[in-house]
Structure formats: C-alpha cells, structure tokens
Amino acid sequence: MSKSYIKYPIAFHKQSEKLINISDVTDANKTDLICLECKENFVAVRKHQTPHFKHKPNSVCKGNVETYIHWVTKEIFKEIKEFELPEIFIDNLTDNQREKLDYEVNNLIKKKVPENLQLKFKKDLKKNISESGIFQIEQIEIEKAYKTSLGNVRIDIVTTINNQELFIEPFFTSQIDDLKKRKVALLEKPTLAINLLSFVHRFDYKYNLENLKNYVISKNSKYWIFNREKKIEKYRLEYLNYVSEEIKKQQNDFKLNNLKLKKITELENKVQQLEEKIRPTQDEIWKARDEIRKIKNDIGIRDYEY
C-alpha cells in the first residue's frame, strides 16, 4: 500500500515535541507535523469522513503501520507517570516453575482434601500467583541497548519502578522471539509484552492519544514474558500458603462431606442386607410367575402387552 494512502490518526508536533491528534490540528500548526520514522512532514487531511494524517505521494518513508504504532507508543510512554502491572498467572511461569508449583499444590490437596472433592477444589483455586497493581514510573528510557553473553539486545522501553528496571516490549504482529527472551533472562529483568494489534483491531485505526494511553496503562494490554526467579519463588510460597488457607476455610465442608460419605456407606450396606433378605422371596415370585405363564400357554391363554 502506498504511504500516501495509509491513514494515521496521530502525528509528532515538531515545535512542541509532543504527539498530537488529527482533531487538534489547526491552520496555525498544520505545517509542523512530522512522521518520526522518516522525519518527513505529514499532510493533515481534516475535511474527510475519517480525518487523518498521511505521507505525501512522493514519500520515501520506509515505515509502515506496524513501525508507526510502535513509535507512537514509545512517545506516549515518555509522558506516562504511572501504569498498572498485570497479575502473574500460573500460565506465565516457565515449564519447570509451573511443574514445581503444580506438584506441591497437588500434594497439599491429596493430604487434606477428600478425594471426591479434589478436582473441584483445584479447579476453584485462583489462577494467578500475584495481584495487579498501580505503580509510579520513576524514569523512562527508549531503545536502550544491553550486552549479554548471547549478544547485544535492544529493549524498546525501559522503565524504572521502585529503583528497579522493568522492560516493556510492544509488539504488533511479531511477538518477542525466543532468542530475545533468553537474552532478557540473562539480564534478569522483569519483562512485559504489550499487544498493540489487539488495540488497533478494537479501534480500526480511528483511535486517539487518550485511547492509546489508557490502553497501555491498563493491565489488560500486557502480559509477563519474564520474571526474576527470586520473585517467582516468593510468589510460589505465598500461593502455597493461600492454598493451605483455602483448605482450612473449607474444613467444615470437608467434615460434612465425610459424614455424608459415611452415611452413603451405611445406607448402601443396609440396602445390601435388605436385598439379601428379600432375595429368596423374589426368587419364589419369579418361579411362580414362570409357572403361571407355562400353564396359560398349555391351555391357550395369551397375555397381551400394549
């Protein structure tokens, strides 16, 4: 698709060095709007069913919709003071971490929960080992490079929260690859991915700065790629404690369940005893019925069933 036909809803205002919505463009500022990918001036198309920015027909910009939403997101982060970190879900753990937690949870359940309730008890447990929360951003760095034993790695957004670095990797169609994940793990920095494609699908390119800012701040825009082992270990112990507390809370239910199981066993034994008592009588009844049927056949009496 030609760059002149791609509709961009946000531009960079060169004079103020800030992003601007197409709806905020006036005759006074319409010449100071650029594309950060190529540094060319954008054309503001205001009198249109869907107002937008676009490149000039002879543009040499090598960017596209994907690179555009990336740099807009990075610019937005420069102005964000706080944002929400999502929960760490059990599914976010590595295979080894998940297997270890699952093994310990299963052991607790097997020891403390009646067998017939174990599947339901585990199913009802929460699926996250940490809670979401709002955190203040102390510092933001864009496109920061790091060295690792696997080679250099460039992180899209590096935030500092509680004096600790947190990596953020926005993606459109190509998620962070395995090599980059391994490099991040070597750096031992907690890392989040932000799904920009999901955002664009929701608004169909008719979004603005406020929409995008609210999205990247929200926990629903992101998920964990990596967390430090010490942090995961802390949350693992807290989760096991949570499971133990849930078991304690349901002790009365477990006792009632055991009483009901005991009652079922008593009733089943009683039924068995009664069946044994009446079995001879039932046998006599069936024998008598067979004899009646034979006699009727002998004298030509037929029983009809309707």
Average pLDDT of every residue of the chain: 90
Distances (CA, A) of 30 to 15, 60, 61, 175: 11, 21, 19, 35
Q: Does some domain include residue 240?
A: yes
Residue 274 dihedral angles phi and psi, to the nearest 5°: -65, -40
Count: domains in the chain? 2
- Contact at 8 Å (CB) between 33 and 44? yes
Q: Average the pLDDT over 236-256 and give the result.
A: 94
Q: Are 90 and 234 found together in one domain? A: yes
Q: Does some domain include residue 103?
A: yes
Task: Note down the domain range covering 35.
Answer: 3-63
Q: Are 46 and 140 found together in one domain? A: no
Cα angle 285-286-292, degrees, rounded to a multiple of 5:
90
The predicted structure's pLDDT at residue 63: 84
Q: Are 112 and 183 found together in one domain? A: yes
Q: Average the pLDDT over 65-78 and give the result.
A: 92
Q: Are 39 and 115 found together in one domain? A: no
pLDDT in tens, 11-56: 999 888 999 999 999 888 888 899 988 999 999 998 888 889 988 8
Q: Which percentage of the chain shows pLDDT scores above 70?
A: 97
The predicted structure's pLDDT at residue 305: 54
Q: Does some domain include residue 111?
A: yes
Q: Does some domain include residue 288?
A: no
The predicted structure's pLDDT at residue 87: 95
Of 219, 249, 279, which marks where a domain is finished?
249
- Contact at 8 Å (CB) between 49 and 111? no
Q: Are 57 and 196 found together in one domain? A: no
Question: In angstroms, how far is the first alpha carbon of the chain from the final one?
Answer: 77
The predicted structure's pLDDT at residue 65: 85
Burial letters 260-279, b for 16+ CB under 10 A, else e: eeeeeeeeeeeeeeeeeeee
Of 249, 275, 297, which marks where a domain is finished?
249
In whole angstroms, give the CA distance from residue 112 to residue 161.
Answer: 40
Instruction: Give 109 or 175, the one with higher predicted confidence.
Output: 109
Q: Are 128 and 47 found together in one domain? A: no
The predicted structure's pLDDT at residue 3: 53
Q: Average the pLDDT over 70-84 and give the result.
A: 93
The predicted model scores a pTM of 0.77
The predicted structure's pLDDT at residue 1: 44
> 196: pLDDT confidence band, cut at 50, 70 and 90?
very high
Q: Are 145 and 199 found together in one domain? A: yes
The predicted structure's pLDDT at residue 236: 96
The amino acid that residue 292 corresponds to is I
Q: Average the pLDDT over 91-117 and give the result.
A: 93
Residue 66 structure tokens:
């994907």
Rg, C-alpha atoms of the chain: 34
Q: Report which of 148, 170, 166 is spatially closest to residue 158, judged by C-alpha positions.
A: 166
Using DSSP's 3-state secondary structure scheme, residue 193 falls into strand
Q: Average the pLDDT over 98-108 and give the result.
A: 96
Q: Does some domain include residue 211?
A: yes
Q: Are 151 and 92 found together in one domain? A: yes
Q: Does some domain include residue 113?
A: yes
Q: Does some domain include residue 74?
A: no
- Say whether pLDDT at 259 is over 80: yes
Q: Are 89 and 214 found together in one domain? A: yes
pLDDT in tens, 199-230: 988 887 788 999 999 999 999 999 999 999 99
Q: Does some domain include residue 178?
A: yes
Of 203, 218, 249, which marks where a domain is finished?
249
Q: Are 35 and 122 found together in one domain? A: no
